[in-house]
A and B are shown apart, each in its own frame.
Chain A
Amino acid sequence: MASNEAIPTWEQVASDYGRVIYNFAYRLTGNRDDASDLSQEVLLRVRRGLAGYQPGSFEGWLWRITRNAFLDEVRRKQRRPTSELPDEDRSTLSTVPAPEEVLAETRLSSDVQEALMALPYEFREAVVMCDVVGLTYQEIAAAADVPVGTVRSRIHRGRLMLRDALEGR
């Protein structure tokens, strides 16, 4: 959004960004229930924060809220760690025609999801923000509060680690 942007309403944020927030949360957690809880928490924080939002980088603002919500949740859960296996959403299968293709695609995306979960958080976050959410390096830098050079390095190393993990299968 441009600097003279209009501040969106909460309903607009939920409708325009809700699905991608959920997908970001799912790719980071590997768990649909956690992704659902996290999406609600993000939207709650957006609702509280919108009144004080100063026009600028809306994407940076929104994704900073999202990652902070995720990190708070991780800290909260550190007392009772769980290891959840990723569960792929069955609803996506309806758009895929042949059963054998369904199986192939499901296996492939669950492999990628498992490889993602093996990445250290900073790298997982960087590649998901870039390749799943579609943010620019500048937007990722604003969201994660790090220099653009750090973002570039994390994305590159994250992809190399992902390649190693996928090749090891």
Chain B
Amino acid sequence: MHPGDLLSAYVDSQLPPADRLSVESHVEECGDCRDELASITSARQSLRDLPLLEPLAGSLRLPAEVVELRPGHRRVLVAAAATVAMVVGIGFGVDGNQTVPLQLDAVVEQHVARASVDPGLNVMQVQAVANR
């Protein structure tokens, strides 16, 4: 019986020794299987010769919003979020008769923390940090 797909397993060294030997002895006597072995060996080599490409820039980076920041950078983002929350919170307080509590103490505390981290912090810098 012709070995068929065992020929591929043979060239890939995926056969136990006994099967290996029986494939070898068959191929010695069978011209068709010798041709088939030559064909798959050549196709296999074409694939293995393909160049390993360099990924396009950014391929191996996560989108910015899910990047886990190092502790120092995370503090900056929390502060920036707190600033946004404060602005939104004040908006609520002024415009309508909303019952959303402002929790000003926490907001002010985080805002102060932000100012101490980097007084010149702006959205562009936060983005730059996130993109690292």
Helix, strand, loop or mixed for chain B's interface?
A: loop
Given A23-B53, A35-B56, A35-B59: A159 and B66 interface contact (C-beta under 8 Å): no
Closest to B47 in A: A131
Q: Which label, helix, strand, loop or mixed, suits the secondary structure of the A interface? A: helix
Residue of A128, A137, A152, A153 touching B47 (CB-CB under 8 A): A128
Could you say which residues of chain B place their CB within 8 Å of the CB of A40? 58-63
Which residues of chain A are within 8 angstroms of B6 by Cβ–Cβ distance? 152
Q: What separation, in Å, do the CA atoms of A128 and B52 have in the docked complex?
A: 12
Q: How far is the CB of A154 from chain B (nearest CB, A)?
A: 9
Segment from B25-33, B38-46, B84-92 that makes contact with A: B38-46
Given contacts A44-B62, A162-B47, A163-B39, contact A155 B12 (CB under 8 A): yes
- For window 37-90 of A, CB contacts with B under 8 Å fall at 39-40, 43-44, 47, 89
- When distances are taken between beta carbons in the complex, the residues of chain B under 8 Å from A33 are 56
Residues A36 and B56 in contact in the complex (CB < 8 Å), given A137-B9, A152-B8, A155-B8: yes
18 A–B contact pairs at CB < 8 A? A18-B59, A35-B56, A36-B59, A40-B59, A91-B54, A108-B49, A112-B47, A113-B50, A128-B47, A132-B48, A137-B12, A152-B5, A155-B5, A159-B39, A159-B40, A162-B43, A162-B46, A163-B39
Using a CB–CB distance below 8 Å, which chain B residues touch chain A?
4-9, 12, 14, 36, 39-40, 42-44, 46-56, 58-63, 66
